[in-house]
Amino acid sequence: MEKVSSEEEETGWNVKKIRKVLGHVGLLLAVSIYTVIGALVFRELEHPAEMSKFNGLIQNLESQRFRLIRFSHLCSQDTLKCNQLLDEYELAVIEACQGGVQLPLKSKDEVASRWSFPESAFFASTVLTTIGYGNTVPNTFWGRLFCILFALVGIPLTLSVIADMGVLMATALSGLHQKAKPFIPTKNFISGLSSTRRRWLSALGGIVFLVLYLSAGAAIFMVWEEDWGFFEGFYFCFITMTTIGFGDLVPKNPNYMFMCTLYILVGLALTSTIIELVRRQYARSWKTIQALSGPLGDMLKRMGEGAGTGLDMATFQTDLKKILTVMNVPRKTNNGKEWQEAIDSVLHDIGYKSKDKKTPQVLQIVVYETTV
């Protein structure tokens, strides 16, 4: 019976584990399918309008070029007319370049669309991750309307996936750290640190890991983008992972758009995890300062009340070391009950010694405590 019960428990545990994995995979699959659907719709809505605009720009460019060439042999006779045609052709070239037409243009088939499927998928991912570079935007009414609806539904879904990936990364890194502990040569040094310093060390380690991830991305983009150096790649990765998204540097090679999207998605999860880790450490440090203000204030008040005509600095330093030592002890059990009892014990000892002094009071200490 015990064997059957053990097998049932193991089966139940495996089922729960499979369900948990399927939940994570399902979220990632859902946002991937949603992005693909969005890319297809954006391409369907924006590509025809883009091609129509391109054709108009190309026709205008060819028309102005033809007029200039036809009149070129008369330029010596009518310089004013020639300058006017030259200005009109120059304006047509500028409009074509700003509209996305790549020059010199040999064939209309060589027009590089901003709404190819890879670039549409990349645009959809920048909408869902709220990066929004601004280099590619919908120009039609229906494209803009769909963008609003697409973002309203997709952004919460994507943020859920990023948060879920962040939890998985944190769990994986924690497990890896636990397994690597016996092989870390500085484990004795780390074990001798206070819990606060350990948390700060973990936060610093996370920041270093993020810098390495951004550096790896910069090296990859140096290969993907011919005109990018390491700094340009690192700058783009940082601006992207922090969702600032200036849009001054954006990948142009459509062959790597899917890999770029995957790198950004993983990087956003990593960045959000590390930022949350640092934020929690700041919050813990602030709470420690608040907790320290009360007991330390009590200690100073009691010392002031029991002080005589002079202040014994040796005694003051000893008492201060006592209370700071207790303050650095982690609050492990009973919601910090043992920690508070230790604080009270030190304060009682300090107050008792102060009362034994017979010298008159000359020291007055006033402590203002604030709560934020």
pLDDT of residue 75: 75
In the chain, what are the domain boundaries?
1-157, 282-355
Give yes or no for a contact between 34 and 154, defined as CB atoms under 8 angstroms apart.
yes
> Residue 359 in 3-state DSSP?
coil
Tens digit of pLDDT for each residue in 272-312?
888 777 777 777 777 766 666 666 666 666 656 655 545 55
pLDDT of residue 130: 92
- Checking if the pLDDT of 360 tops 50, the result is no
Question: What gap in Å lies between CA 322 and CA 211, rounded to an integer?
Answer: 40
Secondary structure (DSSP) of 208-224:
HHHHHHHHHHHHHHHHH
- Give the mean pLDDT of the chain: 77
What number is the average pLDDT over the span 130-153?
A: 94
Tens digit of pLDDT for each residue in 156-210?
999 999 888 888 877 777 677 677 666 666 555 555 556 666 667 777 878 888 8
- Its CATH class, for the domain covering 1-157, is mainly alpha
Please list, in sequence order, all residues whose beta carbon lies within 8 angstroms of the beta carbon of residue 122, skipping any fewer than 6 positions away: 251, 257, 260, 261
The dihedral region occupied by 331, where left means phi > 0, alpha psi between -120 and 50, and beta the remainder, is beta
Question: What gap in Å lies between CA 372 and CA 365, rounded to an integer?
Answer: 23
- Checking if the pLDDT of 124 tops 50, the result is yes
Tens digit of pLDDT for each residue in 77-95?
778 888 888 899 899 989 8
Give yes or no for a contact between 272 and 158, defined as CB atoms under 8 angstroms apart.
no
